[in-house]
Amino acid sequence: MDWHRKALAASFALLAVSLLSGCAGLPSLAQRSSSEALSEDDAADTKLGRLVEPLAEAHPGESGVHLLVNPHDAFAARTRLAKAAQRTIDVQSYIWRTDGTGLRLFQALRKAADRGVRVRLLLDDYNTSGMDPLLSAINAHENIEVRLFNPFTVRTPRFWQILTDLPRVNRRMHNKTFTVDNSVTILGGRNVADQYFGATDTLFTDVDVLALGAVVDDVSESFDRYWRSDSSYPAERIIEPGQQNPWPGPASALSDDYLKKIGDRDPLAAIRNGDMALCWARAELVVDDPAKALGRVDDDDLILARLRDAVGKPQSRLTMISSYFIPTRDGAEALVDLVRRGVRVRVLTNSMAATDEALVHSAYAKWRDDLLNGGVRLFEMERGGDGASSSNITAGPYGSASSTLHAKTYAVDEHLVVGSFNADPRSVNLNTEVGLVIHCPELAAKVHDAFPKRVMKSAYEVRLDDDGNLYWLEKGEEGVIRHDREPNTTFWQRVLLPVYSLLPIDGLL
């Protein structure tokens, strides 16, 4: 064996050792504390429970659902619920930034804990880089417990563990739920960061669901399963001792104007006064088993299969709003088959100019020809430069010309699905996800009807000409504008798109 073959063999041996040792550092879960969501009887004896109880009794077996489309409403709902909490707050999130809204929500949790409220905070660990001192301080509060889902044992630099332990750390908890006193819950697509709550020039348009009634117990039970899962580690067993910062001061990054807008919104008062539009209907929580993060779930138990069971096959209309849309060959064929059976299929995703994930767009772009030839209508959200303007704030999950689409909302005939699930392989096979299937024709119709009323004003419609070339139609104030190449993109973006599409990584996106 010559010298370079010996060097190569040594490199592979080192890599093998690294791969085998990548997960060896995970601590034991023995004697981890146990806790459960507030019981129904105890929940009924809280301020929120007393608010919800007469409404729930008037609609047995149903859930009252309100779509949080406006990002200011979404932030106000969380802060108001935390302020109203008397017994418990259970929160899980994929991303929690230490910006203005993130710090203010941390402060809201602390104030609740100071009143004696038990707070359980479950964060996916992929996006907590640099937060160890803060999380350690939060976890030190006697009434707050922080757990990290599928944690990195090498806290910094994390890139090394991604290289050496990819099969494990590539699986993430994408769920987002916020439940107070087991009486009111919020779930959906929003992470905790300024761009999700309309507090920055970069806005991710999204949608959450505020729900009360029967489904809240299901959300709490799901949280308990994740909390006690084999992927949830007490923060103090992961974060090195001695790393602790004082609690952050007031979130001064939020403008007075923003705080005034939030302060003027009170969803609990709206519920109390009957001013909140609630659709009372049967609602089903569809959620991955947390064992998916360990690769221990059969295909039939993945969230996509559960969604299919909950809504059935589309009969007349399927409207998909997905920030990251990678249909794959099987998905593209399934959508085209629906069109053949007479189902009207429309998809809204990000344009190349609007996306924050160029690789995802390239993986989607390769299927545009097949989908359009098969009769699927495609719309791609525009991207402009006026930031979080007032017109943009009210655009909700249907987008505007100044934002990036982040919503994951699907209308199937008379059913609506809202949650964290993207129509891509990562959501199907790797990440854990959560969604609410709402059997409410009124809400489903709003999403179906949004295309002719709103989407077509803020998205390009993608079409094929007679020669099989793609073009994009933009509806402007002066009429329809045709683009014969990806709109509002640079030369290099267009050059790299087909290059990216050749990479064999669709299953990881």
The pLDDT of residue 399: 43
Note the pLDDT of residue 458: 86
Q: Please report where in the chains the tokens 């949080």 appear, as a residue.
A: 68
Residues 285-311: what's their mean pLDDT? 95
Question: pLDDT digits over 480-492, tens only?
Answer: 999 999 998 888 8
pLDDT the model gives residue 256 = 87
Mean pLDDT of 194-202: 90
pLDDT at position 329 over 50? yes
Which residues on adjacent β-strands are paired with residue 472? 462, 483
Sign of torsion over alpha carbons 138, 195, 262, 248: positive
Render 60-94 in DSSP notation, one character per residue: TT-EEEEEE-SHHHHHHHHHHHHHH-SSEEEEEES
Class of domain 282-508: alpha beta
Query: Would you state the pLDDT for residue 493?
Result: 84
Residues 400-457: pLDDT tens digits?
435 789 999 999 999 999 999 999 999 999 999 999 999 999 999 999 998 877 787 8
pLDDT class of 508 with cuts at 50, 70, 90? confident
Q: Is the pLDDT of residue 24 over 70?
A: no
| Digit-coded pLDDT (tens) for 455-503 | 878 899 999 999 999 999 998 778 899 999 999 888 888 888 877 777 7
Tell me the CATH number of domain 35-272, given options 3.40.190.10, 3.20.20.150, 3.40.710.10, 3.30.870.10. 3.30.870.10
- Report, as residue numbers or ranges, the catalytic residues: 174, 176, 181, 406, 408, 413
In the chain, the percentage of residues whose pLDDT exceeds 70 is 90
Predicted confidence at residue 497, as pLDDT, reads 82
Q: Where are the domains of the chain?
A: 35-272, 282-508
- pLDDT value at residue 265: 93
Give residue 384's pLDDT.
Answer: 54
Can you spell out the DSSP letters for 192-235?
A: BSGGGTT-SSS-EE--EEEEEEHHHHHHHHHHHHHHTSTTEEEG
Query: Rounded mean pLDDT of 127-135?
Result: 94
* CB count in 10 Å sphere of residue 21: 11
pTM of the predicted protein model: 0.91
The whole-number pLDDT of residue 165 equals 93
Q: Calculate mean pLDDT across residues 205-224.
A: 97
pLDDT-based confidence at 504, cuts 50/70/90? Answer: confident
For the beta carbon of residue 240, count every other beta carbon within 10 angstroms: 10
pLDDT tens for 370-403 read 999 999 999 999 875 333 333 344 444 444 435 7
- Alpha-carbon separation of residue 372 from 30, 105, 347, 385, 470 (angstroms): 54, 44, 11, 29, 9
| pLDDT number for residue 23 | 45
Taking only the tens place, the pLDDT of each residue in 250-286 is 666 788 889 988 988 999 999 999 999 999 999 999 9
Q: Do domains 35-272 and 282-508 have the same CATH topology?
A: yes
Assess whether pLDDT exceeds 70 at residue 335.
Answer: yes
Question: Residue 418, class by beta-carbon neighbours within 10 Å (0-12 exposed, 13-18 middle, 19+ buried)?
Answer: buried
Q: Which residue has the tokens 């107070």?
A: 180
pLDDT mean across residues, the chain: 89
- d(CA 224, CA 500) in angstroms, rounded, equals 40
259 contacts: CB under 8 Å, gap ≥ 6: none
- Amino acid at site 113: A
9 pLDDT more than 60: no
